[in-house]
Amino acid sequence: MTIPFLEPSLATATQVFSRDALPVLTVNPGESVRVRSLDAWGHLERQMVPGEDKAQLFTERKGHCLTGPIAVSGAKPGDMLAVTFVSLTPDSWGFTNAGRKDDAFTRLLDVDGGTPQWLLWDIDVPQGTASNQLGQSVKLNSFLGVVGVPSNRPGDFATTPPRADGGGNIDCKELTAGSTLFLPVTVPGALLSIGDGHAIQGDGEVGGTAIECGMTTDLVLDVVLNAPLQTVHAITPTAKITFGFNADLNLATAEALSAMLTWMQQLYGMERTHALALASTVVDLRITQIANETWGVHAVLLHDAVQASAG
């Protein structure tokens, strides 16, 4: 069986989330698809010197350069879309920059805001490393920054802030190969768009970018009726993860933790306050990203964190 392969082009890419967008591909639940995405800016060529202006797919940038949307037959509002990442292979080059913005946070860091500095990376997939022009090397941990579906509201929506009603620019470094991300289906067909490949990123994406790169991703898309939660969540090879997105860090944290408590109640048959007590011993709260106008927080529960007592 031939797996559909989507290549990025003006006919198969988007810079916004919209419920009115026509799908560029339709698959059945449980089917696989291979998707190539350009880097978040849609570069068609690599930079040879830091800050070099190179051609981009879209002549006017409105948001992340995403491939899609992909429709899943039969998906309807109220369902959950399961996006399983089978493999994620970055392109051979990428970039990171920081200092583009002159804002209050940048000034707290004593950074020369408004004067961007660049790292250009050679990515060696067989070796699992990326090396920059300063002679530094890091280990790869590839994932997609943006995986999302549109809001069920009219109009075009920016790709920058992540949303509770569809995911999007989640920027969670845990979503590597072998992970499944669950998204609420908001419109018929789901209309999934993906991109913003990251060869590696730290929690927080503190400078505003990761190693931004093109990515070839093998996915399995399925419709799930009995997901443990009806909010954005994930199961990775090592952990269960819940998410919170809000301009207020307290509210983003509460959103992520509240969802985790609900999950723990189901897992362990616990009253909610007992679940909070247990969470205080085994759940890690992490700042997913600070770069996207909306705080991202994720709560992490390792699969082997809680064991039944003997006897």
Q: What is the SS3 assignment for 220-277?
A: EEEEECCCCCCCCEEECCCEEEEEEEECCHHHHHHHHHHHHHHHHHHHHCCCHHHHHH
Mean pLDDT of 244-249: 96
pLDDT at site 174: 98
What does the pLDDT look like over 102-116, one tens digit per residue? 877 888 888 877 788
Classify 5-224 by CATH class. Answer: mainly beta
The two beta strands, 295-302 and 283-289, are antiparallel
Phi-psi map region of 223: left, alpha, beta (phi>0 left; psi -120 to 50 alpha): beta
Domains 5-224 and 233-302 share a fold: no
% the chain with pLDDT above 90:
90
Average pLDDT, the chain: 95
3-state DSSP assignment of residue 105? helix
Average pLDDT over residues 124-135: 98
Q: What does the domain layout of the chain look like in residue ranges?
A: 5-224, 233-302
Determine the Cα–Cα distance for residues 73 and 25; give it in Å rounded to an integer.
Answer: 10
Instruction: Give the whole-angstrom CA distance, residue 247 versus residue 161.
Output: 9
Contacts by 270-279, CB closer than 8 A, 24 or more apart: 278/306
DSSP 21-56: PPPSEEE-TTEEEEEEE--TT-BSS--SSTT----B
pLDDT (mean) for 166-177: 97
pLDDT score recorded for residue 45: 96
Q: Examine the pLDDT at 274 and tell me if it is beyond 90.
A: yes
69 prior amide bond cis, ω within 30? yes
Q: In this structure, are strands 180-184 and 143-148 parallel, antiparallel, or unpaired?
A: unpaired
pLDDT digits (tens, 9 = 90+) for 71-101: 999 999 999 999 999 999 999 999 999 988 8
Is the model's pLDDT at 175 over the cut of 80? yes
The owner of tokens 């060529």 is 45
Q: CATH for 233-302?
A: 3.10.28.20
Per the structure block, which two tokens stand in for 272? 């909610």
Backbone angles phi, psi at 263, to 5 degrees: -65, -45
pLDDT in tens, 205-238: 999 999 999 999 999 999 999 899 999 999 999 9
Res 311: pLDDT: 58
User: What residues are paired with 241 via a beta bridge?
Assistant: 234, 300
Residue 277 has pLDDT above 70, yes or no: yes
Can you give the pTM of this predicted structure?
A: 0.96
pLDDT value of residue 85: 98
Percent of the chain surpassing pLDDT 70: 99
Q: The dihedral of CA 230, 231, 232, 233: what is its sign?
A: negative
**Cβ 133 vs Cβ 51: under 8 Å:** no
